[in-house]
């Protein structure tokens, strides 16, 4: 009789121990899931300085309204190459760029060289237009604040946009004591080298500005058209 009681007690203890262990394991899994989600969210934060930026962590606004309920159309002078953009953005034309902006803190530039027939690779477009973009963007915002001839491309990938081959890139542009976020695409369309590139020039480099630039660039490049 005593042995049966002991066995029952031991059995109950073992069952209780197993239940406790299972509860602890479940809690550990829940905590791990929360932490993983938290770290994944960090992927959207853009890094400054010389930090490496993973292009796969940048948000692409694939569901953005590329039809622009209130849109305007712009073309590269002398070329049948058209882009739509949100008409809430202001437009300014420089020597080699069409600048779209609504503040001095960030802008989107459609930079090009219409005076040449470009037969080289898309890879060369970024180097070819790099300085033109910096000069034109600088003139349209706060004057010549940039202390470099070129922005640095931190990462890039080949991608098709509206049947056009392109290179998507992310980089940094030194501006006095801080680095500015750069996000864009390079194309060769009808033998014309083109970049559609967003720049956040504000010292704060706020996430909201960065996402705004990403969304505007993505929306504009999806409207490229040569048949109007």
Q: pLDDT by residue (tens digit) across 139-198?
A: 776 555 566 778 999 999 999 998 899 999 999 998 778 889 999 999 999 999 999 999
> Does residue 63 surpass a pLDDT of 80?
no
Kindly report the pTM of this predicted structure: 0.70
Identify the pLDDT of residue 210.
95
> Does residue 56 surpass a pLDDT of 70?
no
Q: How many CB atoms lie within 10 A of CB 172?
A: 23
> Using an 8 Å Cβ cutoff, are 95 and 132 in contact?
yes
Q: How many CB atoms lie within 10 A of CB 227?
A: 5
How far apart, in whole angstroms, are the C-alpha atoms of residue 8 and residue 176?
77
How far apart, in whole angstroms, are the C-alpha atoms of residue 80 and residue 228?
7
Cβ contacts of 132 within 8 Å, gap of 6 or more? 95, 96, 97, 111, 113
> Using an 8 Å Cβ cutoff, are 101 and 140 in contact?
yes
* Torsion over CA: 147, 56, 221, 90 (sign): negative
Residue 163: phi and psi, rounded to 5, are: 75, 0
> Using an 8 Å Cβ cutoff, are 153 and 53 in contact?
no
How far apart, in whole angstroms, are the C-alpha atoms of residue 73 and residue 33?
46
Residue closest to 171 by CA, chosen among 186, 152, 189, 185: 152
Mean of per-residue pLDDT scores for the chain: 78
- % the chain with pLDDT above 90: 53
Identify the pLDDT of residue 105.
85
């Amino acid at each position: 009789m005593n042995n049966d009681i002991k066995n029952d007690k031991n059995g109950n203890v073992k069952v209780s121990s197993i239940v406790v262990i299972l509860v602890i394991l479940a809690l550990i899994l829940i905590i791990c899931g929360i932490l993983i989600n938290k770290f994944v969210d960090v992927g959207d934060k853009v890094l400054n300085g010389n930090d490496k930026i993973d292009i796969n962590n940048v948000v692409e606004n694939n569901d953005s309204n590329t039809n622009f309920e209130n849109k305007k159309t712009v073309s590269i002078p002398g070329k049948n190459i058209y882009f739509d953009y949100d008409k809430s953005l202001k437009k300014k034309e420089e020597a080699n760029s069409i600048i779209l902006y609504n503040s001095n803190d960030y802008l989107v530039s459609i930079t090009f060289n219409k005076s040449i027939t470009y037969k080289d690779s898309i890879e060369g477009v970024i180097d070819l237009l790099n300085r033109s973009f910096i000069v034109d963007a600088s003139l349209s915002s706060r004057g010549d604040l940039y202390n470099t001839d070129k922005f640095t491309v931190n990462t890039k990938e080949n991608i098709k946009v509206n049947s056009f081959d392109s290179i998507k890139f992310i980089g940094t542009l030194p501006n006095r004591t801080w680095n500015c976020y750069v996000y864009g695409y390079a194309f060769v369309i009808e033998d014309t080298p083109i970049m559609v590139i967003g720049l956040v020039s504000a010292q704060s480099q706020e996430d909201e500005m960065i996402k705004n630039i990403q969304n505007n660039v993505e929306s504009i490049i999806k409207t490229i058209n040569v048949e109007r």
